[in-house]
């Protein structure tokens, strides 16, 4: 009876952002996914606007193969009143244009037979009682059963662990959305997954097989069990509080010492001048 009820229950939806929020601060996770409170708008931050604008332009470039079309899209995005902190005349606007031109070079360097821009899907895994959100910026078929996926990066510094997780999810998105390519020898293909940073030029590469995609699903099923079993939503503040949309109403985000450390006096130290 209990097994039947479990089978009827909806799969637990899990995404990279949801896992990241749970790891970062459980109070943030609770506010974001469990509280039912209306979400405040994201803090307006110029790097975020630049990143979104450049991604939008890169998707258009992948679709159209025409830099002018994609550049116009980026220009319109940055001129929106909501994005004026990165509008024309700002250093962020110049940065967005530079990153896009690096993106045009990257696009021209990929010689493939077919390509797909932004694939974004849910991957249901009933045996693991989880449904995993998976997305990737670009997929290329390079011929001879060679595949490549690309996750465009625009930050000054990338977090390698987070980048690898995103590539694994991107790989899952590719295998699931292009299911008809997953048969026969194509099923055995090793996919070259690249996190391509348009600011630094760095490429972080992972070579991924179908078994790796299955392992990713299993990993997210285990994470889902862990997150669902959690009942403690204590805040754990950190540098990321500045990027948290809930910060204005979060007293725990203040950087303070634990109360019982406040009376701790610094050590006197040796007076070196006294020895001379």
Interface residues toward ligand SF4, by CB under 6 A: 25, 27-28, 31, 235, 237, 240-241, 244, 246-247, 250, 252-253
- Look up tokens 């994470």; give the residue: 223
Distance CA 113, CA 238 (A): 46
Q: Which is nearer to ligand SF4, 178 or 235 (CB)?
A: 235
Minimal distance in Å, beta carbon 29 to ligand SF4? 9
Minimal distance in Å, beta carbon 241 to ligand SF4? 3
Q: Which is nearer to ligand SF4, 57 or 244 (CB)?
A: 244
Minimal distance in Å, beta carbon 32 to ligand SF4? 9
Q: Which is nearer to ligand SF4, 92 or 246 (CB)?
A: 246
Q: Which is nearer to ligand SF4, 41 or 269 (CB)?
A: 41
Q: Which is nearer to ligand SF4, 106 or 244 (CB)?
A: 244
Minimal distance in Å, beta carbon 27 to ligand SF4? 4
Minimal distance in Å, beta carbon 79 to ligand SF4? 31
């Amino acid at each position: 009876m209990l097994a039947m009820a479990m089978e009827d229950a909806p799969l637990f939806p899990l995404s990279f952002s949801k896992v990241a929020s749970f790891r970062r601060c459980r109070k943030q996770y609770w506010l974001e996914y469990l509280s039912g409170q209306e979400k405040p708008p994201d803090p307006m931050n110029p790097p975020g606007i630049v990143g979104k604008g450049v991604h939008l332009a890169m998707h258009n470039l992948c679709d159209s193969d025409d830099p002018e079309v994609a550049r116009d899209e980026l220009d319109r995005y940055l001129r929106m009143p909501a994005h004026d902190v990165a509008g024309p005349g700002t250093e962020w606007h110049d940065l967005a244009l530079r990153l896009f031109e690096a993106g045009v070079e990257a696009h021209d360097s990929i010689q493939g037979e077919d390509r797909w821009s932004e694939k974004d899907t849910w991957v249901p895994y009933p045996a693991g009682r989880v449904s995993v959100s998976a997305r990737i910026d670009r997929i290329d078929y390079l011929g001879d059963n060679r595949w490549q996926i690309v996750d465009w990066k625009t930050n000054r510094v990338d977090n390698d662990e987070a980048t690898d997780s995103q590539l694994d999810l991107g790989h899952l998105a590719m295998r699931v959305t292009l299911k008809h390519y997953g048969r026969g020898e194509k099923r055995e293909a090793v996919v070259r997954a690249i996190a391509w940073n348009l600011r630094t030029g760095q490429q972080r590469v992972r070579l991924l097989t179908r078994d790796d995609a299955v392992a990713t699903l299993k990993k997210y099923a285990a994470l889902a069990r862990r997150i669902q079993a959690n009942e403690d939503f204590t805040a754990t503040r950190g540098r990321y509080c500045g990027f948290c949309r809930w910060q204005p109403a979060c007293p725990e985000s203040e950087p303070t010492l634990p109360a019982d450390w406040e009376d701790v006096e610094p050590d006197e130290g040796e007076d070196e001048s006294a020895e001379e």
